[in-house]
Amino acid sequence: MLNFITIKNVANYDSQGIQLDNLKKINFIYGANGTGKTTISNFLDDQSSNNFNHCQVTWKHGISLKCQVYNKSFRERNFGKGEIAGVFTLGQAAKQDTELIKQKEEQLAALKEEGEKKKETLQKQIRTKEEKEIELREFLWKSVYKKYEGTFKEAFRGSINKEKFQQTLISALKKGKRELPTHEELEKKYKTIFGKTQQKINSIPTIKYDRLVKMEEDDIWKKKIIGKKDVEIAKIIQLLNIDDWVNQGRNFIKESKICPFCQQETITESFREQIEHFFDETYTQLIDNIKSLSVEYIKYIDDINIILSQIETTEKSDENSKLNLDLFSTHLRSAVSQLSENKELLSIKLKEPSRVIELRSTHVDLDALSTLIDSANDEISKHNKIVSNYNRERDQLILDIWELIAKENKLEIEDRENKITGLQQGINNLEKELSEKRDSYSKVNNEIKELNRNITGVQSAVDEINNTLRYYSFTNFEIVPSNLLENHYQIRREDGSLAESTLSEGEITFITFLYFLQLAKGSKYKEKVSYERILVVDDPISSLDSNILFVVSTMLKQVIRDIKSGTGNVKQLILLTHNVYFHKEVSFIDGRTKEDKYTNYWILRKNNNTAFLQSFNMKNPIKSSYELLWQELKDKENSSCISLQNTMRRIIENYFKILGKYGDDDLIKKFSSKEEQEICRSLISWINDGSHSINDDLFIEYQSKTIDNYLSVFEKIFVLTDHKGHYDMMMGPAVSTCNWAV
């Protein structure tokens, strides 16, 4: 069945158009001539036409049916060519054959119902799966993309829409089996690759301090350097512990006999020899060793100080330095302090060789400084490698980032994906079952076609049409077999002449409608006799007298009963008409039932040459011609000025002149003042003029400004004639426009 019809951008339908929604089994559309009814029927008759590119329909369960349309185009296609194609129906076939077809059709209906239920379940399952997919996509976008966007935004380039991001992340999750860098490592590498344009960095000079450490650990610093003990003067020197003092003074007695201490000529050659023997070669060598080591050590520490200070200064000026400057400066200050202390100790040792000293070990700080330099150089090496292999390193980084964030969200993603996979398995099973149902349906349908092919015929339809014509006194013509084409017929008079060109408009309308009803039960093709279909009937009572109108409405009411009960192959009816009486007849239920769950109603109107639709759901808006006039007046917002003029004139004519026996002057005299009489006279003049002519643009503009005043005068007429009760009954008190005091 049809669920929804949209008509727009064609004929008098604008870009907004109309929407017929909530279509039921039976659908009545009332509309005056020219409102666009035939446009609707033409669209349903040929939905592929380029004229209806912006129109569309939707079907219940997505199953489309053939729309069989009766309108002016139908009459023109099937009559006026001399030959009428035969209609195949089951006719009076053998009971056994018809029973078998009936069983097959019941079986087909059951298969269709099962298939529709399966399809509904399948569609529900598909919707649930789609909802879960949307939930997964939203989770990945809000909880994953938004979380990492600020950190790894450039890595997501090319995937910054929800669908693409999901696809890339799921793909990365399926790949990720290898060991990945840490999050911190990836962030650091990301800043290098996607930061400012990078250049290679020079490595930091390394320091060598093994020799320095060995000198600090040399035993000579702890050795007391003194003269020989077997020299006679040694006893007094060692007793007084004046080795260093004597050693310093011996330079003064090498060439002089005067003692540097007492200034007397007490220095003898023997004394000199004893002093020189006391400070022998061994002593001198040790002293030389101390001097040599001290000089080397001091030079070493000066060089290291220069190197380390330059490193510190250079790296502090480099904003992209890889060196941990805080730690480096701390260890540098500590090492410099220790080296300075050692320098002082060396000075003491040189002055006092007999003193034992212990140099501070600097290897801890120097080890730390060396490690910091090595670590920075490792980072520099990685940086330079990235710069040298930018494209490869960038691609690898992006891959690592995707796999890492996929791994970090693996459990949540897999849980959601498993639910979607389960739903997909259910969908696959349902699609398989539905396919099997379709195969069974096709098989049974083909069996019905074959049975129809064997027992259908066109004569039954011809006989039924001729019987109906005779019954309603159309006896001067009938349908007979064609002499030219098989299964084609002609309309002939009793004298054998072709009658089609001489038929009246009413006769053509009646016979074409009878032919249409036979097509509704059968088909022009044997194999399509039992096809389910939708009937669209557009004004079938033009040019018919009241008796035939009653016959047509009676026939359609039988079609309606069959549709409601599920009998036959017609599943839905859309009836369009401009005739109020016919609408009342064909939509009549039983006099007691006001609403029917199988039926919906609409009124199609036109305002400013644009069609629009008003829905009444299950409530029939058409009661009588007179009530319809009041309905038009109540719905004045959706009516044109011209139609309102005509509506008010007809109400006054019906109620006051025919029923109330009031003339124009009688109504005017009901107003007490001359001013009020002129207003009433103006209203009646305006009504009569407006209902019989089309006003020019200037007058239309005037109407648009005064229409509310005239509506108020219209109400006042009922008030002054003591018929306010009738006005309220027809319009309802809530819609009063009268502001005058009575």
Span 336-348, pLDDT tens digits: 898 888 888 888 8
Dist CA 39 CA 639 (whole Å): 20
Cα Dmax for the chain: 187
Calculate ∠ Cα 8-613-43, nearest 5°: 40
Q: Tell me: pLDDT of 228 over 60.
A: no
pLDDT of 265 reads 66
Q: 3-31, pLDDT tens digit by residue?
A: 999 999 999 999 999 999 999 999 999 98
Dist CA 4 CA 378 (whole Å): 71
Nearest-10 Cα torsion for 349, 353, 355, 359: 30
Dist CA 572 CA 523 (whole Å): 17
Q: 453-467, pLDDT tens digit by residue?
A: 555 555 677 778 888
pLDDT of 70 reads 92
The mean pLDDT of 702-712, rounded to a whole number, is 62
CB atoms within 10 A of CB 426: 16
Q: 256-292, pLDDT tens digit by residue?
A: 566 666 666 666 555 655 555 555 566 677 777 888 8
Q: 478-505, pLDDT tens digit by residue?
A: 888 776 677 777 888 877 787 777 778 7
The mean pLDDT of 26-48, rounded to a whole number, is 91
Residues 375 and 331 sit within 8 Å (Cβ to Cβ): no
Calculate ∠ Cα 525-527-529, nearest 5°: 75
What average pLDDT does the structure give for the chain? 78
Dist CA 437 CA 432 (whole Å): 9
pLDDT of 575 reads 95
Dist CA 276 CA 279 (whole Å): 5
Of 268, 271, 280, 270, nearest to 229 by C-alpha is: 280
The mean pLDDT of 561-565, rounded to a whole number, is 91
Dist CA 90 CA 108 (whole Å): 17
Q: Tell me: pLDDT of 249 over 50.
A: yes
Higher pLDDT, 623 or 5: 5
* pLDDT band at 94; cut points 50, 70, 90: very low
Q: Tell me: pLDDT of 700 over 50.
A: no
pLDDT of 494 reads 76
Higher pLDDT, 412 or 701: 412
pLDDT of 542 reads 64
* pLDDT band at 742; cut points 50, 70, 90: very low
Q: 28: which strand partners? A: 575, 601
* Highest-pLDDT range among 253-257, 320-324, 495-499, 683-687: 320-324
Strand 56-59 vs strand 599-607: parallel, antiparallel, or unpaired? unpaired
Residue that has been written with the tokens 């020299």 in this structure: 231
Dist CA 707 CA 580 (whole Å): 27
Q: In this structure, what are the phi and psi dihedrals at residue 721, rounded to the nearest 5 degrees?
A: -95, 10
Residues whose CB falls within 8 Å of the CB of residue 501, separated by 6 or more in sequence, listed in order? none
pLDDT of 373 reads 92
Dist CA 35 CA 32 (whole Å): 6
Higher pLDDT, 649 or 330: 330
Total count of residues recorded for the chain: 742
* pLDDT band at 226; cut points 50, 70, 90: low
pLDDT of 374 reads 92
CB atoms within 10 A of CB 150: 7
List b or e across 588-619, with b for residues whose CB sees 16 or more CB atoms inside 10 angstroms: eeeeeeeebeebbbbbbbbeeeebbbbeeeee
What is the CA 636 to chain-centroid distance, rounded? 41
Tell me which H or E stretch contains 536: strand 533-538
pLDDT of 90 reads 47
The mean pLDDT of 543-559, rounded to a whole number, is 76
